[in-house]
Chains A and B, each alone.
Chain A
Amino acid sequence: MTGTETETQTQDTHEPNYDEAFDVIVVGAGLAGSAAAVTMAKRGLEVLLIERGSSPGAKNVFGGVLYTPTIRELVDFESAPLERYVAEKRFSMLSHDDETALSLRPGEWNHDPHNDSYTVLRGEFDEWFAQQAVEAGATLVTETTVTGLVRDGPQIVGVETDRPDGTIRAPYVVLAEGGNSLVSEGADLKDTESRENVAVAVKEVLEFPERDGVIEDRFRLVGDAGVAYQYFGEGAVGDAFGGGFIYTNADTISVGAAYRLEDAATQKQSPEETLNLFKTHPAVAPLVRDARTVEYSAKTIPEGGAESIPDLVHDGAVIVGDAAGLVLNNGVHLEGTNMAVESGYHAGRAIATATERGRRDADVLGAYPADLEQSFVVQNLQRYAWMQEAVEADRDLLFEALPRAFADASTEYFRMDRQPKESHAENAKRTVLDALGGWTGAAKLALRYRKVVT
């Protein structure tokens, strides 16, 4: 036996205790949580990031576009695992068997920074993003579910987890637990969202085993270019209020549908039936032909808009990301990832400043909601706050009558027979006007929705 390397004395490891060892606990290592963690770690705070999945992103079934202007500022974006940049956006109205679509391919999107719009696989991306926080000094604990908050009077002073010896205390808690925010709701920090304001999303990831290049051929792509297709109307989600989508990843595509939980409950329309209906629409089926399903998942999305944002700041805690209802869906813009990152960033800055000043009351955290209100996040949500209700009131017109009328009008307008074009144009115009309620109806509708794009 040689030297001291094999001394048998054991380290004193019996009762490690990390109460008050961290400045802040972040609940959830998604985009909002990791953005907050990396922001605070870079300011020198001791951050504990708690994730319930076996790795960050392991529980995530998001399948859309990641908008990255803030992430690019926070971390070394060059090393991020991206699938494709969005080179084409397509908005498509589907009736039972018609499609009327608008496709946009601005040349600028093909050049760096690609309008900061990328498809990603969140299992890989979130793990990478959380790793950026760890490299900045944060401590990540996985396979641990936060089950509640610890209070000292009104003050939130820590979290409880599902592990033995599972309570840990720290001056601040960032709640980044996602749309299904059981901890925030359980602690009465926010109300449970009504089912009218929650969407159910179902998604399949498909691969094309037959040969390489199927995605490039079908979606007209070169290199890292990709597409984001959004579909509306009864052909996309039946009688429900929502839409369908297709996004291209590097070697797979994500196909799905999202619609109100209310409709899933009352219209007896199951997510599985809805997605199958969408996938078999004559305009969609050729895009997914001969595909093999590699993943099937479902989730909920908070879509209450500006009115549903809870109090973001409490004594010792802040709420960020989907847990704070920071998702925008106005039909044209489907955004949440950028808002999650932005809210985590502002919350992280506020807590770092509060920590540096040695204070922990709600007032000093007020910088977070104040900054957020000045940011695009709240401004955008307020701008489109009216829309949810308007679209709901017009749903039959927008999702059924109009898609059909446009399809019928195109059929009329381009009809090949022995009638003059003038009568075709007249028929086409009448079809649309009938659906809209004449010129007056059309003018009212245009006025009502002008703010979607202007």
Chain B
Amino acid sequence: MTWTIVVGVKQVPDADEVGIDPDTGRLDRANAPAVMNPPDRNALEAALELRDTVGGSVLVITMGPPNATIVLEEAIAMGCDDAVLVSDRAFAGSDTWPTSLTLARAAETLEADVVLCGEETTDSSTGQVPPGIAAHNGWAQLTYAEELEPQPDEGRLVARRDVEGGYELVAAQLPVVVAVAYGEFDPRPAGLHRKIFAENDFEPREWTAADLDIEDEVGLDVSPTAVGTMETVEPVERRSELVDSVNALLEPLEETEVVG
């Protein structure tokens, strides 16, 4: 039996291009072009490797504005079989709760056996969406997965998980949601002909909130996240002091218990 593998990807500001304005010292995000969230590349590679082993298809999905099609094209160029753009003004202001609900419904509609996501997105870094998808659908979850071993005959996926102090091997029954550890699964380059196809001839399917029957369950109003206050911390003023000898240096270090 082959697997239907769904990968969630997201468009984020290119962190390499987020410069620091030399005059104000502030981050300049406005000039950064939108690119695929880097950890998502690892998820795509993991998905393609699963397909190589088990057989089946890899479907990529993103929530975003119409121009987010570009990240879908990139995934198609890498080798994904088809792509869905979930785009609707109703999604505006959605936090991780309605976002993961949307992706969960989409994965269900696509009859996913496995859903793969990057560990987190570089523009918000909550890491909440993959577990959220699992929770909404009542599916198993495998987070921080460094290695994957599919066991299709048992309908099972085994993951080696990165945990503090070592690793653990966890087996989950399908359907399962996997968050792939950032940096694992080195993404393959796109083939030339696939790249030409993806950028010029491929059209993703487009779904709205209504297509997924969730138009009343998404957006800012149903997002439970509330930002309390923001605080800008001033850097501590540093004192510089010149000393003449090693002993003169050791003394204050001992006083401050830097050395014992």
Contacts and interface: CB of A to CB of B under 8 A. Distances in A.
Interface of A: 1-3, 5-6, 8, 10-11, 13-18, 48, 139, 141, 144, 161, 163-168, 209, 292
Q: Most chain-A Cβ atoms within 10 A of its Cβ — which of B192, B193, B201?
A: B192
A163 B199 contact: no
B109 A6 contact: yes
Given A6-B109, A10-B82, A144-B192, A139 B200 contact: yes
B231 interface: no
B213 A163 contact: no
B192 A164 contact: yes
A8 B4 CA distance: 10
A165 B109 contact: no
Interface residues of B, number: 32
Nearest to B57: A10
A13 B82 contact: yes
Interface in B131-174: none
A319 to B, nearest CB: 22
B59 interface: yes
Contacts of B23: 209
Given A1-B211, A164-B189, 17 more contacts: A1-B109, A2-B210, A2-B213, A6-B109, A8-B111, A10-B57, A10-B81, A15-B193, A17-B193, A18-B193, A18-B197, A139-B200, A141-B195, A163-B192, A164-B188, A166-B192, A209-B22
A209 B212 CA distance: 53
A333 to B, nearest CB: 37
Contact of B191 (A10, A139, A166, A209): A166
B88 interface: no
21 contacts: A2-B210, A2-B211, A2-B213, A6-B109, A8-B109, A8-B110, A10-B57, A10-B59, A11-B81, A11-B82, A13-B76, A13-B197, A13-B202, A14-B81, A18-B193, A163-B189, A164-B190, A164-B191, A165-B191, A168-B192, A168-B193
A164 B110 CA distance: 29
Contacts of A14: 81
B217 interface: no
B196 interface: yes
Interface in B67-118: 76, 81-82, 109-111
A16 B76 CA distance: 11
Contacts of A8: 109-111
A5 B207 contact: yes
A6 B211 contact: yes
A13 B76 CA distance: 8
A144 B76 CA distance: 17
Contacts of A16: 193-194, 196-197, 201
A14 B191 CA distance: 11
B206 interface: yes
Nearest to B58: A10
A14 B51 CA distance: 13
A17 B199 CA distance: 14
Given A6-B207, A13-B76, A141-B196, A163 B22 contact: no
B191 to A, nearest CB: 4
A62 B23 CA distance: 27
A135 B65 CA distance: 23
B205 interface: yes
A205 B190 CA distance: 34
Contacts of B212: 6
Nearest to A139: B200
B194 A165 contact: yes
Contacts of A165: 191-194
Contacts of B22: 209, 292
A297 B197 CA distance: 35
B192 A5 contact: no
Contacts of B210: 2
Given A13-B76, A161-B192, A141 B199 contact: yes
Nearest to A12: B81
B193 A144 contact: no
Contacts of B202: 11, 13
Nearest to A13: B81
Contacts of B211: 1-3, 5-6
Contacts of A1: 109, 211, 213
A437 to B, nearest CB: 54
B80 to A, nearest CB: 8
Closest 9 CB pairs of A and B: A16-B197, A165-B191, A10-B82, A163-B192, A164-B191, A166-B192, A10-B81, A16-B193, A5-B211
A425 B190 CA distance: 73
A144 B82 contact: no
B133 to A, nearest CB: 17
Contacts of B109: 1, 6, 8
B222 to A, nearest CB: 21
Contacts of A10: 57, 59, 81-82
Interface in B1-53: 22-23
Given A10-B59, A139-B196, A5 B191 contact: no
Nearest to B194: A16
Contacts of A164: 188-192
A161 B196 CA distance: 13
B206 A5 contact: yes
Nearest to A50: B192
Nearest to A144: B192
A163 B207 contact: no
Nearest to B188: A164
A164 B190 CA distance: 7
Contacts of A17: 193
Contacts of A48: 196
B196 A18 contact: yes
A10 B2 CA distance: 15
A328 B76 CA distance: 45
- Max count, chain B CB within 10 A of own CB: residue among A3, A11, A15, A209: A11
A14 B58 CA distance: 11
A144 B213 contact: no
Contacts of B189: 163-164
Contacts of A15: 193
